[in-house]
Structure 1
Amino acid sequence: MDNFSSGRDQLPYALGVRWENFFDDLEGQLAAEWEAERAALDTEAERLRLSRVALRERLSVLIDRERTGGVPAFEIVDGTVLSAEVTGVGSDWVALDGGTAGAVVVPVTAIASIALPHEDVLRSARPAAGRTGLSERMGFGFVMRDIVRRRITVTVHLTHGRVLSGTIDRAGAEHLDIALHEPGTVRRAAEVTGHRLVPFSSIGWVRLDGAAALR
């Protein structure tokens, strides 16, 4: 009788220990599943955010980059590689300080690839809160028309590799007119050797000869 009573007294304690372990296991599983679900949601939210980031936004971040690493290298569709810092970004173009190449304007669609230090790759993937600079709303045509107004001599590098040097006489909605003459000379009728109409879509990059970098 004593043995039976002793065993019955021990039963609730044993069951209690097992139930506590069971609930502990359940809590652990739920916590692990919640963390996994939250991580998946965070990953999906990050993918969604990145899917909305435009290249021009990442280029804008490079304007203020710390220039402690290597210089960005822009590969253009004509095969040229420009080692240059970003000095301005418009709605569809980027202005570069190309060092010995001078001030350069490149349509975003003419960029084949950009080599960046890894820290700039990561930083540009999380653009700062939107810039409100007027230049960011200006299209490539607007920049070309400003060059017309300033009468700046230019060298236009076409996407297939040909180079046109001279002065842009006028710029339309999607093309420009350039009067051809020797680089470094003033546009005079006697110096002009020809005229070309050039669609913006065929332009790889434009060097502003002797001009300050665009900002």
Structure 2
Amino acid sequence: MRWDALFADLQARWEAESAAELDREIAEAARLEQSTLRLADRLRGHLDVPLSLRLRSGQTLTLTPQLVGEEWLAGTDGGSGLVVPLESITVVEGLRRRAAAEASRARRGLGIGAVLRAMARDRAAVTVMAQDGAQLAHGLLAGVGRDHLEVLAAHAGEVPRPRGQDDARVVPFSAIGLVRADVAARL
């Protein structure tokens, strides 16, 4: 009978070690999967979920993501549409442990210029803020190049029109901390 107890003990130890090894393998697989996730994937898994963002400027805002590119986030914060370069974000609160990869290769390749061009096409009134929080431009989003945008100054009560070279502000994408579009205002 002692042999039965010895074999039962060895069997229990072997099963415990096998279970522990499986737990270690699962934990390692989870760490490996986590290491491949990008912030964009995490944000894409939270579309239509209000998130708190702190920006390099120190500003904190609540944004509900609607579109997420590889390098930018677009959504609303109530009455305004926002486009935020991911490099401007220092902290995100409200993310749960879920993520979603961009399924479409075409959409995956869209840079911040694509969403800004759509806003320009809609004649959006925008305020462009720098990463330090300073206002860079305010007015009609008139054009978007490969690496910059152009804003025509808006004067009270009039529709911005090109009057000369001094009327437009050109802002490189690398300087942008936030683009705020007044959802109600189209010029």
Looking at structure 2, the residues matched to 146 and 184 of structure 1 have their Cα atoms a distance apart, in angstroms, of 24
- CA-CA distance at 1:132 after TM superposition: 3.8
Listed as ranges, the gaps of 5+ residues in structure 1 are 1-16, 66-70
The residue number in structure 2 matching 1:54 is 38
Looking at structure 2, the residues matched to 183 and 140 of structure 1 have their Cα atoms a distance apart, in angstroms, of 29
Instruction: Provide closer, same or farther for how the CA distance between residues 191 and 162 of structure 1 changes in structure 2, counting only shifts above 3 A.
Output: farther
Larger radius of gyration: 1
Query: Which one of 146, 171, 176 corresponds to residue 198 of structure 1?
Result: 171
Aligned length: 184
- CA-CA distance at 1:80 after TM superposition: 1.7
Instruction: Provide closer, same or farther for how the CA distance between residues 105 and 185 of structure 1 changes in structure 2, counting only shifts above 3 A.
Output: farther
The residue number in structure 2 matching 1:149 is 121
Query: Which one of 110, 129, 141 corresponds to residue 138 of structure 1?
Result: 110
The residue number in structure 1 matching 2:63 is 84
**Stretch moving more, 80-89 or 145-154:** 145-154
The residue number in structure 2 matching 1:121 is 96
Paired residues of 1:176 and 1:197 also in contact (CA < 8 A) = yes
**Which structure's residues are more often strand, by fraction?**
2
Looking at structure 2, the residues matched to 184 and 58 of structure 1 have their Cα atoms a distance apart, in angstroms, of 42
Instruction: Provide closer, same or farther for how the CA distance between residues 180 and 129 of structure 1 changes in structure 2, counting only shifts above 3 A.
Output: closer
- CA-CA distance at 1:130 after TM superposition: 5.1
Paired residues of 2:73 and 2:85 also in contact (CA < 8 A) = yes
The residue number in structure 2 matching 1:107 is 85
Q: Report percent identity of matched pairs.
A: 33
Instruction: Provide closer, same or farther for how the CA distance between residues 204 and 182 of structure 1 changes in structure 2, counting only shifts above 3 A.
Output: farther
Paired residues of 1:95 and 1:106 also in contact (CA < 8 A) = yes
**Aligned Cα root-mean-square deviation (Å):** 2.6
The residue number in structure 1 matching 2:139 is 166
Query: Structure 2 matches for 1:62-73, cutoff 5 A?
Result: 62-65=46-49, 71-73=50-52
- SS state at 1:209 partner: strand
Normalising by structure 1, report the TM-score. 0.75
Quick check: 1:33 aligned with 2:33?
no
Instruction: Provide closer, same or farther for how the CA distance between residues 29 and 107 of structure 1 changes in structure 2, counting only shifts above 3 A.
Output: same
- CA-CA distance at 1:191 after TM superposition: 10
Looking at structure 1, the residues matched to 57 and 177 of structure 2 have their Cα atoms a distance apart, in angstroms, of 6
